[in-house]
Structure 1
Amino acid sequence: MAAQLYLTTLNDLPDVILSNIIATISDTRSRNSTSLVCRKWLHLERSTRTSLSLRGNARDLFMVPSCFRSVTHLDISLLSPWGHSLLSISSYSDDPLLVSLLLKQSFPLITCLTVYARSPLTLQLLLPHWVGLKEIKLVRWHQRPQLPSGSDFVPVFENLVKLEKLDLSSFYCWTEDLVPALDAYPGIGVNLKSLNLMNPSFSEGFKAQEIEDITKACPNLRELFVACMFDPRYIGFVGDQSLLAVAGNCPNLERLCLSDTSALLNVRNELNDESGANEDARIGLGTLIEVFSGLPLLEEFTLDVCNNVRESGPVFEMLHKKCPRLRKLKLGMFQGICMPVESKLDGIALCEGLQELSIRNVADLTDFGLIAVGRGCSRLVKFHVQGCKKITVKGMGTLASLLHRTLIDVKISCCKNLGAMSSLKALKPIQNRILRLHIDCVWDSVEQLEDLDGTEFNFDLNRLDEGSLSSHCVEFTNFYSGPASEDPRGKRKKCKYSYDQEYCSYDQIGDVRNGNGNEHGHGNGYHGKTWDRLQSLSLWISVGELLTPLVDAGLENCPNLEEINIKVEGDCRDWSKPSSREFGLSTLVEYPRLAKMHLDCGDMLGFAQTAPSGHMDLSLWERFYLYGIGNLSLTELDYWPPQDRDVNQRSLSLPAAGLLQGCLMLRKLFIHGTAHEHFMNFLLRIPDLRDVQLREDYYPAPENDMSTEMRADSCSRFEDALNGRQIVD
């Protein structure tokens, strides 16, 4: 009798090995699919999941799953109705302690918690059951309750004696609340390793004395993120003394981020003159050098101020020497960061260990400075540039060529000479490698397009003799190549120019420097139009402008693009109507794998209800921007409706609800605003939609929803109808 054929499967692996394999899966839907294979896989998946975000209605907390016993990171800030106190609206509101005990029993190993804490009562009920918490993130966009200063943090500091990380980046409070609480519980400050106060809702940011008191109370911090007041026109602005106090009080810092509140809001304001802002910051260069000397362990540094810090190049030469472990650097309003003379590198170009660099409003940065950065910082993986008006397609293209082996994340924003088409042209050397990209949808004029045609240069890769260089190219060649001893990548390579060319082709520079004319597969320097690895695309566009030219600008072939983020900004009250019927979302059907979209119209201002004669109200503008969205195969959508700031209203309109119901592939929909209940019922026509939430995550969130807007009972009725449908998977 023939032996039966036995097939080896994954189930034959020992449970220990199989559980390690399942533990490496990070995508939520993939883990859910894994758990459906068989009971054995279900048990292993549940026992290896360490991070969980709870959704659903807070009144149904009795349905909390009890099978995720190994979860250590729990997020309960997304429970609906979003923004309401967690324990006051549940079905056990008469005994909220029972609910908190249920959460404790379901998740006994929690060490990291994220919770919407509209009032301290929620924390008073939850935290006594999780005294072993080491990390906590508080979320609140509603107005601060009228309580004594520091009351919000008393339940946290009173119960969490082992607390090491406190994140208040999404928690609206007063800046003067934290210091009294730290003074009342000195042991908490000593234990803290990470403190995040980078909250954009602060109107002014933390003042000098507050920062000094906080760092004095938390001497063992390794991570510090603070939204500061740098403007010297205000009392208590952050200057030399505060920076020295940070370095002196917290010498073990590995990540230090200090940003002005205006930088956090990402306001696209035009600078008043070529040199930047009118006033200079009160930050001395000697002070910065002393700060760097006091922080030898620094790996990430952000200093984004609102006024100029001039002639700062020598400071960053010292930064390289004093902080050898530095890998991430973000600067705002620093002038003179790189001013190369001939082939000598200086300033920030000497920070050769950098992997991420972000610069904002560096008014005197030129193409030569940009190329020097590419030469010196040869390990850059991420490069963001904003508000640098002197750089052009030639400098950006040369930097991309120099970094074509490493650079995968690029942002080009608010640069006068780099519109959409010129930015994409400059990034040709890395278009087959780049993963994440941000550009401004500023469509280049005819004259600019003609100038772009002049940047295509040809030179002979087979004859690399220097004798044929024309005299007016020698300076550029010396600057680019540099002596062999100064070239951070090793040997010096030369290229041949024709006599009537000012620059060599940046499509070829990377190949010449590495001595390989066919590295990209094109020895003649030609690059195809395919962005093979691009996964995430971010766009800024002014109100009234169209998205239609995007594909023709050079992004016609992105086979792996999965996510797109579109931010529309401006005042539509200055427009009577747009120039076309639709914004142009239909053009995105060119991207076959596009599944996630963030459409942010939250900074678009308009008339909510009463538009003057000849002007469109916000509902008609919403129709303009959402028209054609049903043609896309989106599975996830985050949508910020436009707003009328005069009445603090950001609400979904009838045309918007009608167009969103056409997105038949949607599974997740977050609307960052309010909506009428009968508008939300339109969404029930989307067959596979299973995760919908209204989030008022902007300050100040409406304290009491209007009678015609979504209320807690209305939200519950909609969710019952949504969950009562049959969904395939």
Structure 2
Amino acid sequence: MATTINDLPDAILTNIFALISDTRTRNSLSLVCHKFLQLDKATRTSLTLRGNARDLFMIPHCFRSVTRLDLSLLSPWGHALLSSSSSSLFYDPQLLAHHLRRAFPSVTSLTVYSRSPSVLQALSPQWPGLRHLKLVRWHQRPPIPLGSDFSPVFEQCPSLTSLDLSEFYYWTEDLPPVLQAYTATAASLTKLNLLTKSFTEGFKSHEIQQVVAACPNLRHLLIACVFDPRYIGFVGEEALLSIARNCPKLALLHLADTASLATTRGDPNDEGYSSEDAKISRAKLVELFSGLPLIEELVLDVCKNVRDSGSALEVLGSKCGKLKVLKLGHFHSVCLPIGSQLDGVALCQGLESLSIKNSADLDDMGLIAIARGCWKLKKFEVVGCKRITWKGVGTLASLLRKTLVEVGISACINLNATASLRALEPVHDRIQRLHIDCVWKSVEEGGEGGEAGVCDFDHNELGEFQNAAYAMDLFGGNEFEWLSNKKKRCKYSTEADCSYMGSNGNGFWCKSWERLRYLSLWIGVGDLLTPLPAVGLQCCPNLEEIQIRVEGDCRERPKPSERAFGLSTLARYPRLSKMQLDCGDTIGFALTAPSGQMDLSLWERFFLNGIVNLSLDELDYWPPQDRDVNQRSLSLPAAGLLAECGTLRKLFIHGTAHEHFMMFLLRIPNLRDVQLREDYYPAPENDMSTEMRVDSTSRFEDALNGRPILD
């Protein structure tokens, strides 16, 4: 008789199940047999609750081992979790909270949408051993006393070690008084994420000093602040040095100006210098770096000029031997090599991830020096650097061929889509994650990137580039093996032709990005996605996820000449199953448009035409918006086109929608998880009479869950 996995002792099976973290895998295993189902329930440690908050009484009491509980996605999304309107059976918030504690007694990590302090007042006493808390709120802060949002958890959970407020709207003056009032809880904190995306001003200098003085044991600190010296309370040298003095154990430090948190792309024509200089001297930077000997990840995105920073970065490389991740924004002179001598950031030789944003004087020779010095780089990102070209990026990619797996290139005027992909040819078979801007100028006009679908390497350009590199003694004779001794032409054929097809040195070759699994794209509103394969991404056999951000003002654009944006172009990627289509920064007319202009419903039809040709399992969609009325709503054409996506299982719409539009989605046979999320600030406080409301959401979910689903 054959031995099966069921013959293993229960203790071994339990350990096997405990090692499986992927949710879909666990769900599939639990369907095999009743024994596997029981093991899954007994060993599951992380759970995200979906469904309507009014049905909380239906939660089974079988997930006794859950330690990480996420309540932030309960619907109606954004409404008060514990209130009389959330449930038709249990109207007492305390009773609901008690029910949650009985169902999940082992919770130590909690994520919750806390629209009012009453949520934490009810939940905090249920789990006094809570160690990790993430709060979510995109609605406006209610009129409450300072600190009311945080006092309950600091009072009831003295073992709290991690607080994440990155998606929670509050006032910066809310937090410091609570930290000072509950000194023992504040001292136990090791992770504090205050990088709140909805801030307009961020934390002031004296508030940062109060926070770090109250939390001396922090290892992770992320803060949104203002470095602009024209503002009262701007962050300067005093605040930076207080961080180093009070929190010497820091392993991760993110300091980002609130302007850098905007999702919009920068202007490629910008010279890279801001109008003001940050009040941060090289001497104080050296003092800051010297005070953080354990730092492993450092982000300084100040949005104001930090000039002549190279010498300070050399100290960073020598004093912070554990540094692995570095992101710099508006730091100038980060690397200015002379001859073969390395300097600046190139001396941070332990780096595995480097991001340089708006460095006005970074050029190709600087990139080459960085590649020589930071030879362990796995991730490299460059944003808004006007002086770099495909030659510098190409040499960097060649020198880092053995390690580089993730690249981002954005808002660099000399690096459009064609030039970016041309530069990355040395690592095209190794890149796993990639971001580029969909700027097609060279395709349309035959610019630097050559003809559409053809990449030519000029002998003179190549010889000049190699000679410069040899003169600097950068590498030996084999570093440019990725370029043939003879001139090659790269022509793109069908998807099946992703191979070398010629029998002589001048055969055709189609680049196969065989390890690429994630692709991120930026594209201007009104432009088309259809040239994407022609510029070099014809063959991506393992691409699984794509993120597309469409940005611009529709009111300044004429009607597109084509009917569709070009999503059907993506059908050539056979394994593509996840998409994020973000049109949230596309601005237009929500209702009526002037003569000759399109309103947002017609733009949505343009964006979504062709999506039916994709075999997507998951889709996150941000509709365009009319900022004048703070409306981001799904239109009738968009609802109809989404309803044709027959393979969808999960659909998140980041906005509002009419109830009868949502009913179109019931045509999707295997759709199981649908969310309406107003996760932009400020979220609509009172939905319009015909928009999705609590009752509307309930009716839609009842209809969705009442259908038979094959799997």
TM-score tier (shorter): over 0.9
How far apart are residue 470 of structure 1 and its match?
A: 8.4
The 3-state SS of whatever aligns with 1:447 is: coil
Of 610, 618, 638 in structure 1, the residue corresponding to residue 600 of structure 2 is 618
What's 1:196 paired with? 193
Question: Aligned partner of 2:15: which letter?
Answer: N
Residue 699 in 1 paired to residue 681 in 2? yes
What's 1:560 paired with? 542
> Matches of 2:349 and 2:404 in 1, distance apart?
14
How far apart are residue 351 of structure 1 and its match?
A: 0.8
> Matches of 2:61 and 2:483 in 1, distance apart?
57
What's 2:457 paired with? 455
Deviations 1:424-444 (A, max 9, x none): 111111111111111000013
Give the number of equivalent residue pairs.
688
Q: Percent identity?
A: 63
> Matches of 2:459 and 2:187 in 1, distance apart?
60
Residue 25 in 1 paired to residue 23 in 2? no
Deviations 1:269-314 (A, max 9, x none): 3378635112211111111110111110000000001111111111
> Matches of 1:230 and 1:690 in 2, distance apart?
45
The range that moved more, 14-23 or 520-529, is 520-529
How far apart are residue 401 of structure 1 and its match?
A: 1.0
What's 1:512 paired with? none
Question: Aligned partner of 2:245: which letter?
Answer: G
How far apart are residue 101 of structure 1 and its match?
A: 1.1
> Matches of 1:565 and 1:321 in 2, distance apart?
38
The range that moved more, 8-17 or 246-255, is 8-17
The range that moved more, 576-585 or 641-650, is 576-585
> Matches of 1:524 and 1:18 in 2, distance apart?
56
What's 2:496 paired with? none
What's 1:15 paired with? 10
What's 1:164 paired with? 161
The 3-state SS of whatever aligns with 2:664 is: helix
The range that moved more, 111-120 or 65-74, is 65-74
How far apart are residue 508 of structure 1 and its match?
A: 7.5
Of 78, 97, 100 in structure 2, the residue corresponding to residue 100 of structure 1 is 97
How far apart are residue 598 of structure 1 and its match?
A: 0.3
The answer on whether the counterparts of 1:422 and 1:444 sit within 8 Å (CA) in structure 2 is no
The range that moved more, 93-102 or 339-348, is 93-102
Structure 1 residues not aligned, in runs of 5+: 1-5, 460-468, 482-491, 497-503, 510-519
Of 552, 572, 583 in structure 2, the residue corresponding to residue 601 of structure 1 is 583
Deviations 1:517-536 (A, max 9, x none): xxx99998997411111111
What's 1:494 paired with? 477
What's 2:207 paired with? 210
> Matches of 1:410 and 1:471 in 2, distance apart?
26
Question: Aligned partner of 2:469: which letter?
Answer: F
Question: Aligned partner of 2:62: which letter?
Answer: C
Residue 638 in 1 paired to residue 617 in 2? no
Structure 2 residues not aligned, in runs of 5+: 486-499
Residue 270 in 1 paired to residue 263 in 2? no
> Matches of 2:263 and 2:37 in 1, distance apart?
44
The range that moved more, 262-271 or 245-254, is 262-271
The answer on whether the counterparts of 1:457 and 1:505 sit within 8 Å (CA) in structure 2 is no
How far apart are residue 409 of structure 1 and its match?
A: 1.0
Alignment of 1:465-480 (within 5 A): 474-480=467-473
Deviations 1:580-606 (A, max 9, x none): 111000111101111110000000000
Taking a change above 3 Å as real, the CA distance of residues 591 and 278 of structure 1, as seen in their structure-2 partners, is: same
What's 1:442 paired with? 439
The 3-state SS of whatever aligns with 2:449 is: helix
The range that moved more, 81-90 or 10-19, is 10-19
> Matches of 1:550 and 1:332 in 2, distance apart?
29
Of 49, 62, 77 in structure 2, the residue corresponding to residue 67 of structure 1 is 62
The answer on whether the counterparts of 2:121 and 2:152 sit within 8 Å (CA) in structure 1 is yes
What's 2:134 paired with? 137
> Matches of 1:437 and 1:258 in 2, distance apart?
25
The range that moved more, 79-88 or 266-275, is 266-275
How far apart are residue 457 of structure 1 and its match?
A: 5.0
How far apart are residue 26 of structure 1 and its match?
A: 2.4
Question: Aligned partner of 1:652: which letter?
Answer: L
Alignment of 1:707-722 (within 5 A): 707-722=689-704
Question: Aligned partner of 2:330: which letter?
Answer: M
What's 2:114 paired with? 117
The answer on whether the counterparts of 1:299 and 1:325 sit within 8 Å (CA) in structure 2 is yes
What's 1:359 paired with? 356
The 3-state SS of whatever aligns with 1:42 is: helix
> Matches of 2:448 and 2:207 in 1, distance apart?
49
Deviations 1:246-267 (A, max 9, x none): 1001111110000001111133
How far apart are residue 478 of structure 1 and its match?
A: 3.2
> What TM-score do the two structures reach when normalised by structure 2?
0.94
Residue 50 in 1 paired to residue 45 in 2? yes
Question: Aligned partner of 2:691: which letter?
Answer: E
The 3-state SS of whatever aligns with 2:447 is: helix
> Matches of 1:473 and 1:158 in 2, distance apart?
65
What's 1:422 paired with? 419
The answer on whether the counterparts of 1:455 and 1:505 sit within 8 Å (CA) in structure 2 is no
Taking a change above 3 Å as real, the CA distance of residues 521 and 200 of structure 1, as seen in their structure-2 partners, is: farther
Deviations 1:621-652 (A, max 9, x none): 00000001111111100000000000000000
Taking a change above 3 Å as real, the CA distance of residues 271 and 30 of structure 1, as seen in their structure-2 partners, is: closer
The answer on whether the counterparts of 1:660 and 1:683 sit within 8 Å (CA) in structure 2 is yes
Taking a change above 3 Å as real, the CA distance of residues 102 and 417 of structure 1, as seen in their structure-2 partners, is: same
Taking a change above 3 Å as real, the CA distance of residues 150 and 527 of structure 1, as seen in their structure-2 partners, is: farther
Question: Aligned partner of 1:540: which letter?
Answer: W
> What TM-score do the two structures reach when normalised by structure 1?
0.91
Question: Aligned partner of 1:347: which letter?
Answer: G
How far apart are residue 472 of structure 1 and its match?
A: 9.0
The answer on whether the counterparts of 1:92 and 1:99 sit within 8 Å (CA) in structure 2 is no
The answer on whether the counterparts of 2:296 and 2:325 sit within 8 Å (CA) in structure 1 is yes
> Matches of 1:118 and 1:203 in 2, distance apart?
20
Taking a change above 3 Å as real, the CA distance of residues 384 and 666 of structure 1, as seen in their structure-2 partners, is: same
> Matches of 1:677 and 1:386 in 2, distance apart?
41
How far apart are residue 21 of structure 1 and its match?
A: 2.5
The answer on whether the counterparts of 2:511 and 2:539 sit within 8 Å (CA) in structure 1 is yes
